[in-house]
Chain A
Amino acid sequence: MSRLLGVILTLSVVSGCVTVSAHEREYLADPTMQPVVDLLEERASRQLHRAREAAGGGDATAAGGGCGCTN
C-alpha cells in the first residue's frame, strides 16, 4: 500500500509541472482515453465481479447495498 501511495504522490508532483491546453487534447479526446470508456459495460462488469468476489465495493460504489446478490 505504501508503494501505491508513493506512486500516486510522485505522479501528483510530476504532473504539477505539465499543463496541456485545450487545443492540444486531440488524443485525450479519443473515446478510448476517457476515464470510463463504456458506462453500461463497466457497470455490468462491476456487477459480475461484485457478485462473485469477496472484494467488491469501496471504489465509487458500495458493496452489500442496492442488490440482492452481493458478497
Chain B
Amino acid sequence: MRPLQEEVVAARTRGRRCILRLAVVLPIFVGMCGTAPGHADNDWKIEELLSRFAYFNQSGFGYQSQAGPGPKGSEDLHVWNPAFYLRARQNEKVEHTMVVPVDIITSASTDAIDVMTSASRTNETITFDITTRYEEPADDTMSFRYGFHLEEWYRSVFAGFGYARELAEDNATIAMNVNGYVDVFRPYGPFGGLQPPGDKRDTRGALNANLEVSQILSRTTLVKAGYGVTWQAGELITPWNSVPVGCNAEVTACLGRTQERFPNRRLRNAFSGLLAQHIPVTHSTLRLHYRFYFDDFDVRAHTMKVELYQYATPRAYIRASYRAHHQNSVYFWTRAIDLVDFDPTAPRTADSDLAEFWAHEVGGKLMIYVDPNASVHRVDVGFTRYWRTNDLIVDVVSLGYARLF
C-alpha cells in the first residue's frame, strides 16, 4: 500500500483534472446549445444565461486553525469563484435550470494536509444543481431538483421535490419543497492522517423542508415569508478542525491539540421575511430582509439586511446594502480545553464560525442593461466587505454578465 501522502496527492490530481475538465467542457456545451434553432414548439431553447466571477480575499484568526502564529491560527485564504446559470425550455410545460458554481480555494489554514505535508495548496470544487419544472395546469408548478457536488476529498448528491401554486389571480404564491442530501468524505483529521486511523470514509445526511408564501400587497409592494427546517445526522464535524488543549489563561501557549467532536444529530429552524417596496417618484426600490434562526445546539441568530436600488438611468442602477448578523455560540464552544477536566467523549469545538459574534456586511453594485439586436445583455460589477467581531474579514469583488434570449 502506498504511503498516505502519495495517495492524497494522486487522489487530488485525479480530482483536479476531473473538475477542470468539467469546467472547460461546460461553457463549450452551453455555447453550442445557444446556437441551436428554437422555432418549433418541441425544440429546446435557451432562454437565459448568467455568468458571474467573484474573488474572495479572507483574513483572520481562529482557535481551530493550526496555521499559526499562535494557538489562534491564521484563517487567510483566497477563493476564485466562477459560476454559471442556464435556463432552457424544453416545451410549453417543461423548463430546466442548471447552476454550476466552481470554487478554486487556497486553503493553507483550513486544510490539515497542507499544514502537515504541504501536499496541496489549492482545493477545487464543482457543483451541478439542476431543477426541472413542470407547469400543468397554468397555476400549478411541480419541480424536481437533483445534482451533485465534487471536492477532492468529498462527494455529495442531493435530490428534492417542490410544488408551487398561484392564487388570487397570481397575487399570491404558496410554495413548498423537500430536499435530501447525502455526503461522503474522507475524514482527514487535524494531524494529517485519517481520523480515527483506518477510517476510510465518513457520511452524513440532511433532510430539509420549506414553506414559503409571497403576496402582492399593492402595485408597488411585495412581501414574502418562509419557514424551513433541516434535520442532520451523521458525522457533522469539520474533520481537520482542532481544539487547543492545556493552555495558559490567555490561550497564547498550549501543550497540544485534539480533534473537535460534535453530537451526531442536529435540528435547525429558520423563519424569514422580505418586504420589497418600489418608490416610483424616485425610481428606487427598498428591500428589507429579516431572519430568525434557532437549533438544538442552542444557537439563536438574528439577521437583518436592507438593500436600496437606485436607477440612475432607465438602463442602469446602483445598489447599496447593509447586513447585520448576531449569533450566540453552540453550547460546547470553547477557546481551549483544560487537561484536568478533559472528557474525550464530550462535544467540543473551537471553530470561530460557531462562536458568539456580530457580523456586518456592506456592499455596492452597479448594474447596466445593454440591448443591442433585440437581445437583452446585462453586466454588473460589485464589491462587498464582510467582517466579524471575532477576527475575520472577507472582501469580495464580483463581475457578472447575463443574457436573455
Question: Which residues of A pack against B, CB within 8 Å?
Answer: 1, 4, 7-8, 11-12, 14-16, 18-22, 24-28, 30, 32-33, 35, 37-41, 43-45, 47-49, 51-69, 71
Contact = CB atoms under 8 A, between A and B. Distances in A.
Interface string B112-148: 0000000000000101000000000000000000000
A11 B225 contact: yes
Q: For this complex, into which size category does the number of interface residues on chain B fall?
A: 35 or more
Contacts of B222: 28, 33, 35
Given A48-B396, A52-B388, A62 B230 contact: yes
Contact of B177 (A1, A51, A60): A60
A33 B223 CA distance: 10
6 contacts: A4-B273, A33-B222, A38-B380, A44-B396, A65-B232, A68-B156
B156 A66 contact: yes
A54 B327 contact: yes
Given A1-B292, A55-B293, A69-B238, 18 more contacts: A11-B223, A19-B171, A21-B169, A22-B169, A30-B285, A32-B276, A33-B285, A35-B222, A40-B52, A44-B83, A52-B388, A53-B353, A54-B353, A59-B210, A60-B177, A63-B232, A65-B181, A68-B125
Contacts of B247: none
Contact of B354 (A22, A54, A61): A54
The secondary-structure label for the interface of chain A is loop
A66 B181 contact: yes
B394 A48 contact: yes
B228 interface: yes
B85 A58 contact: no
B99 interface: yes
Interface string B328-360: 011000000000000000000001011000010
Contacts of B293: 55, 58
A62 B232 CA distance: 9
A15 B99 CA distance: 34
B232 A64 contact: yes
B183 interface: yes
B299 A55 contact: yes
Contact of B52 (A14, A26, A44, A58): A44
B73 to A, nearest CB: 16
Interface stretch (B4-12, B190-198, B199-207, B248-256): B199-207
The secondary-structure label for the interface of chain B is strand
A8 B172 CA distance: 13
A66 B230 CA distance: 13
B267 to A, nearest CB: 10
A56 B172 CA distance: 27
A35 B52 CA distance: 19
Nearest to B214: A35
A55 B125 contact: no
Contact of B230 (A18, A20, A63, A68): A63
B301 A54 contact: yes
Interface string B309-343: 10000000101000001010110000000000000
Contact of B54 (A20, A24, A44): A44
B81 interface: yes
A66 B278 CA distance: 35
Contacts of B266: 64
A48 B79 CA distance: 11
A4 to B, nearest CB: 6
B99 A40 contact: yes
Contacts of B83: 40, 43-44
A54 B329 contact: yes
B220 interface: yes
B383 interface: no
A58 B269 contact: yes
A28 B219 contact: yes
